[in-house]
Amino acid sequence: MESDALASLPLRIGISSCLLGNQVRYDAGHKHSAYITQTLGEYFEFVPFCPEVAIGLGIPRSPIRLVSVDGSIRVRGVENPQQDVTDALIENAEAVARQLHDVSAYLFKKGSPSCGMEGVKVYPVQSGQAVESVPGMFAATLMRALPELPVEEEGRLMDPCLRENFIERVFIYHRWLCYCASGMTPAALVAFHTRHKFSVLAHDESAYRELGRLIAGVGKRELGEVAAAYIRVLMRALARIATPKQHANVLMHIMGFFQAEFDSNDKVELLDLIDAYRQQQVPLLVPMTLIHHQLRCHPNDYVSAQYYINPHPRELMLRNRI
Ligand code: SF4
C-alpha cells in the first residue's frame, strides 16, 4: 500500500549548515532562518553541510569569491588570490552528492561563492566590477550531479509561489524515493503516475503527455530505463511554476468529474470561484476549499487519490498566498 511506502523513509533535506544557526561562516557567524528551522523543521529532518569547513578552511577564515580566469570560473581568496579552492569544493560536492541518495531536496544559502544556487557574482582576476553571476561552485556541482533533486535558496523561499513550488516538489520527490526504496515495480510506477496526473497537468501539459507515453511503455521497455526517464521528465516539469491559468484548467478538469452530481447553484458557485482565482482576486485555497466540500458530498476515489488535492500539509498554508 502507498501509505506504507510513504512511511518507509524519513523526509530528509540537505541544507547549508549556516541556515540552521550553526556558526560556520567565514566570520564565525551564522544565517539562521527561523522559517526553515521552526516552520519547515516540523516536517523535515535537516542534514547540514558546510563545504568551506569540510575542505579545511577553518572558522573564522579569509573570505573567498568567484573569479573569472581565462574563460573559466575559479574560487579564490579575496585577500590571498593565490589561494584556489575550486577543485577542493568540486570534490567535496561530488562526495556529498553520493551521500544524498535518500535525501528529498537541498536548501542553499543565497549569495555564497560555494552554496549560492544562482546569481553569485563573478569578479575579474584584477580588481573591478562583477562580470557575470552564476551558481556557487559547490551548488553548481551538486545540481549537476543530482539534476532531479529539488533545490531552492533560502531567500527565494520568501516568495509564496517559489515556496509552494519547492515544497510540492519535495513531497513528490520524497514519495518517489519511498517507492524506489520499496522496490519499484511496473504496477507501482503506474500507480505513482496515476496519482500525480493532476499535479503534472498544472505545471506542464506537454510533460503530462510525455509522461503518459512513457507509462504506456511500461512492460515493453526495461523498467529501470523507463523509471529513470520518468523521474527526469517529472522533476523538470514540476520545477516550472504552475500559473493561475494552469491551475484553473486543472480545477475545471476536476469539476468535470462532478458534473453529473452538481446542482446548478453549486456549479455556478464553483465556476465563479475558479474564475475569480484565475483573475487573482482570491487565492487558490478558495476554489480548492469548495472542491474539498464537493468531494465530501460526492465522493470520487480517483479525484481524492490525486496528490494535487492535498499536495502538502495544510498547516503550511502554502495555497493561501498563491
Ligand atoms: S554558505 Fe555554505 S559555505 Fe558558507 S557558511 Fe554557509 S554552509 Fe558554509
pLDDT in tens, 222-231: 999 999 999 9
What's the gap in Å between 101 CA and the centre of ligand 1?
21
Q: How far apart are the CA of 157 and the centre of ligand 1, in A?
A: 17
Q: Is the minimum distance from the CB of 24 to ligand 1 under 6 angstroms?
A: yes
Q: How far is the CA of 65 from the centre of ligand 1 (A)?
A: 12
- Calculate the average pLDDT of the chain: 95
Beta carbon of 112 within 6 Å of any ligand 1 atom: yes
Ligand 1 midpoint to CA 10 (Å): 25
Predicted local confidence at residue 1, as pLDDT: 41
109 in contact with ligand 1, CB cutoff 6 A: yes
122's CB contacts (< 8 A; 6+ apart) are: 66, 67, 68, 73, 130, 131, 132, 133, 134
Predicted pLDDT of residue 3: 43
pLDDT at residue number 119: 97
Q: Is the CB of 115 under 6 A from ligand 1?
A: yes
Q: Is 114 in the pocket of ligand 1 (CB under 6 A)?
A: yes
Is the separation of the CB atoms in 69 and 55 below 8 Å? no
**What atom of ligand 1 comes closest to residue 18's alpha carbon?**
6
Contact of 115 with 151, CB cutoff 8 Å: no
Residue 119 CA, ligand 1 centroid: distance in Å: 16
Tell me which of 22, 49, 52 to substitute to probe ligand 1's pocket, judged by most ligand atoms within 8 Å of the beta carbon. Answer: 52
Is residue 197 within 6 Å of ligand 1 at its C-beta?
A: no
Say whether 221 sits in a helix, a strand or coil: strand
| Percent residues over pLDDT 90 in the chain | 90
pLDDT at 7: 47
43-93 pLDDT, tens digit per residue, is 999 999 999 999 999 999 999 999 999 999 999 999 999 999 999 999 999
Residue 83: other Cβ atoms inside 10 A: 14
Split at pLDDT 50, 70, 90, the class of 6 is very low
Ligand 1 atom with the shortest distance to the CA of 31? 6
The model's pLDDT over 133-175, given as tens digits with 9 standing for 90+, comes to 999 999 999 999 999 999 999 999 999 999 999 999 999 999 9
In the sheet that holds 120-124, the strands lie side by side as: 72-77, 64-69, 120-124, 132-134
Mean pLDDT of 117-130: 92
Report the predicted TM-score, pTM, of the whole model to 2 decimal places.
Answer: 0.95
H/E run at residue 66: strand 64-69
What is the reported pLDDT for 8? 78
Residue 186 pLDDT: 96
**Looking at residue 264, what is its pLDDT?**
83
Mean pLDDT value across residues 272-297? 96
Q: Taking Cα atoms as reference points, which of 11, 31, 99 lies closest to residue 312?
A: 11
| Gap from CA of 20 to ligand 1 centroid (Å) | 11
